[in-house]
Amino acid sequence: MSKHSFKEWLIVVRPWSFPASAMPVLVTLAYLYWAHYEVDWLLGLWALVSIVLFHASGNTWSDYYDYRRGVDAPDTFGVKTLTGGMFRPAEVRSLSLCLLGVAVLSGLGLLACTGWPLLFIGGAGLLLSVFYPWLKYHALGDADIFLTYAVLPTLGTSYVATGAVQWPVLWLSVPVGLITVAILHANNTRDTATDLRARIRTLAMLLGRRASVAVYCFEVLFPFVWLAACAVAGVFPWWVLLACLALIPAVGNARVMARLGRSGTSAIAGLDELTAKLQLLFSLLLALSFFIAGLLL
């Protein structure tokens, strides 16, 4: 590979998107603490590192295939690591495979410390990550992301940290997962014109602009309704309402998306990054609420 600066390597793996993978693990660990499970924190943190490695590999893998397929071009939005000539395609492919190799080794280490159920959870995540470009091109990217960065991480983290799959953690996958999917949906809504030119289909393309705006608003606002309902039902402690502080930027993001009809795609050029920041704030507040509730009980 050619020599690149550390900053360039950071840019190509898109670290701003890592809350999508790291936060489900953190929130699950906090939930398990509140629910008085015996938590192995070392294995839990190991799981967090592993999923971020898989995420970095998936980011570069997706960028490589988007460039090969012509989805990413010089006039598309986003960081132009390939279309701008910062990296050669072979470099990004090699980086992705190297990251995937490290992630798999990390996962095998966790498997050796836990048990066979992790093989099925991790294997499903690996397949969904590898085939994500194809699924994205056939309007299944949103479902893939929800499974990869919501359902599987919560179940996998519960197994790694407690020695058994704790099914109640799936209550967490809805609010955390919807905001994560909103990151992709914002990206795909913005890129509808260039995706159409590349002859792929995304959910945003099938829905159209008006419905895509409504879906995005649902994805970033419904999680707060879900938390309140779970608190009322006794599934979560009342402390989870602390996460409602993130409602302010969530409403702000919804307003940005609403400008799409009046101002065009340029109005939502950076909405995917804003949504990732929302995910980070929402999940940190949610994790903190579980830790506080656990300490007070």
Residue 77 clears pLDDT 80, i.e. is over it: no
How far is the C-alpha of 219 from the C-alpha of 207, rounded, in Å?
Answer: 15
Model confidence at 50, in pLDDT bands (50, 70, 90)?
very high
How high is the pLDDT of residue 190? 92
pLDDT at 76 over 90: no
pLDDT at 64 over 70: yes
**CA–CA separation, 267 vs 250, rounded Å?**
16
Rounded-to-integer distance, Cα 215 and Cα 220, Å: 9
**The pLDDT of residue 194 is above 90:** no
Query: Which residue do the tokens 């065009």 mark?
Result: 264
Would you give the DSSP letter of residue 259?
A: T
> How far is the C-alpha of 144 from the C-alpha of 141, rounded, in Å?
5
Helix (H, G, I), strand (E, B) or coil at 138: strand
Token readout for 254 is 């919804």
pLDDT at residue 220, as a whole number: 98
In terms of DSSP H, where are the helices of the chain?
Answer: 6-13, 19-34, 41-69, 89-113, 117-130, 132-137, 141-146, 152-162, 170-190, 192-197, 203-207, 209-233, 247-258, 260-263, 271-296
Average of per-residue pLDDT across 123-144:
93
pLDDT tens column, 80-91: 788 788 889 899
pLDDT in tens, 203-216: 999 999 999 999 99
The pLDDT score that the predictor gives to residue 85 is 81
User: Please, what is the average pLDDT of the chain?
Assistant: 93
d(CA 33, CA 12): 35
Backbone angles phi, psi at 9, to 5 degrees: -65, -35
d(CA 174, CA 181): 10
CA dihedral sign of residues 117, 123, 124, 129: positive
Q: What percent of the chain has pLDDT over 70?
A: 98
The pLDDT assigned to 234 comes to 96
Tell me how crowded residue 5 is: count the other CB atoms within 10 A of its CB. Answer: 8
**Bigger pLDDT: 280 vs 68:** 280
Q: Evaluate if pTM is beyond 0.95.
A: no
pLDDT on residue 79: 64
Average pLDDT over residues 152-177: 97
pLDDT value of position 261: 80
